[in-house]
Amino acid sequence: MKKSEALILAIESSCDDTSVAVLKGFEVLSNVIFSQDIHSYYGGVVPEMASRAHIESIVPTIKASLKTSNIKLNQVEAIAVTQGPGLLGSLLVGHSIAKSLSLALSIPMINVHHIEGHMLSCFLTEKNIQQNSSLDFPYLCLTVSGGHTQIVIVHNWDKFEIIGQTLDDAVGEAFDKAARLLSLGYPGGPLIDKNAKTGNPNRFIFSKTKTNGLNFSYSGIKTNILQLMQKEKKNNPKTLSSELNDWCASIQKSLVEPLVLNIEQAIKQTGIRQLAIAGGVSANSHLRHLIQKLGIKQNIQIYLPPLSYTMDNAAMIGAVGQFSLLNGVSDSICSSADARLISDKWVVKESNTI
Ligand code: KG4
Ligand code: ZN
């Protein structure tokens, strides 16, 4: 891989985390994340509140990131920013300030697709921290977040081939819906993960949804979980609280296992022997354990992101910014944030078109 030493300031504001990072090349000098807790009270992200909170936190987060990295604003050589997809009001806050900085400092601005950031986060390095693996193109990436569930061949920084994807809900969405049924807070994924640790994953069995090829389906699981809960409540009205950990472990198992089965199939089909996981759900301890086991069983190289890179963060946006700069790609400040951004760098394998 070519080397870049450029100093980039990166901004991510696509949902409910305000994050600003400073990178020198692919080395992360700072990665400040301000998480908005207010949404847990409402059981989900309230878009209007998210954009207002971004407006309040964006300048302090930029200042904190520069201070932590010991870099002055006038040393920054380029701005990378999430253009989409995400909540429009949230995206506009980060995108507008990126345009202002680019104009004021006369430096290039680079628009980044949020999910490409997740998929390229395996290239980030930190001083004095040993990377658990270093990948090179091409590698497989299992991208699992609140809005995406995909198996992708990352051919290069600008070529992503989707070989499997969800036909309906994303796995993170399924975690959040299941947590709501259990009256846990938001986001539900980490809470199910936490409670599952001491639960019996085989206590409740849910029916499996069949899909073609390497695709996934998660929309039926909510109804399935709800029906089993109603049935079990007839025997034990307090089952949801008295057996909470068993519910969490069983739900977690049923959501994570299809991911691992399909990724194992993808390794066989493609012959690619490097695998990264990315996105919010890649923080899941059961998924990480199974992927690690798969790596040993298949003798393939695995990249498990540090937890700070599994959640939404600006460092990953900076990684895409570095690849763009290295390849002479930057964007006009007349461009705009796009809530439904579709990347021209993605191709869907024909047999997997939905
Ligand atoms: O990538 P992300 O932070 O935001 C999006 O781009 O969507 O992913 C958020 C999702 C949420 O659905 C959240 O419940 C899930 O990631 N998540 C987890 C865990 N941590 C976050 N799901 C399962 N186990 C976790 N430990
Ligand atoms: Zn994300």
Give the position, in ligand 1's atom list, of the atom nearest the Cα of 86: 6
CA of 136 to the centre of ligand 1 (A): 25
Q: How confident is the model at residue 5 (pLDDT cuts 50, 70, 90)?
A: confident
Whether residue 311 has its Cβ less than 6 Å from ligand 1? yes
315 Cα–ligand 2 center, Å: 12
68-106 pLDDT, tens digit per residue, is 999 999 999 999 999 999 999 999 999 999 999 999 999
Query: Hey, which of 145, 150, 192, 256 would you mutate to test ligand 1's pocket, going by the most ligand atoms within 8 Å of its Cβ?
Result: 145
With cut-offs at 50, 70 and 90, classify the pLDDT of residue 39: confident
What digits encode the pLDDT tens for the residues 118-158?
999 999 999 877 666 679 999 999 999 999 999 999 999 99
The domain limits of the chain are: 7-132+308-342, 139-303
Distances (CA, A) of 98 to 94, 135, 332: 6, 30, 11
**How many whole angstroms separate alpha carbon 90 and alpha carbon 34?**
13
First to last CA, the chain: 34
Ligand 2 center to 231 CA (angstroms): 35
184 lines ligand 1 (CB under 6 A): no
Confidence (pLDDT) at 158: 98
How do the residues of the chain divide into helix, strand and coil, expressed in percent and rounded to 5?
Answer: 45, 20, 35
Q: Which residues have C-beta under 5 Å from ligand 2, the single-atom ion?
A: 145, 312
Hey, do 7-132+308-342 and 139-303 end up sharing a CATH topology, with the first three levels equal?
Answer: yes
pTM: 0.94
* Fold entry, domain 139-303: Nucleotidyltransferase; domain 5 (3.30.420)
CATH topology of domain 7-132+308-342: Nucleotidyltransferase; domain 5 (3.30.420)
DSSP string for 59-79 = HHHHHHHHHHHT--GGG--EE
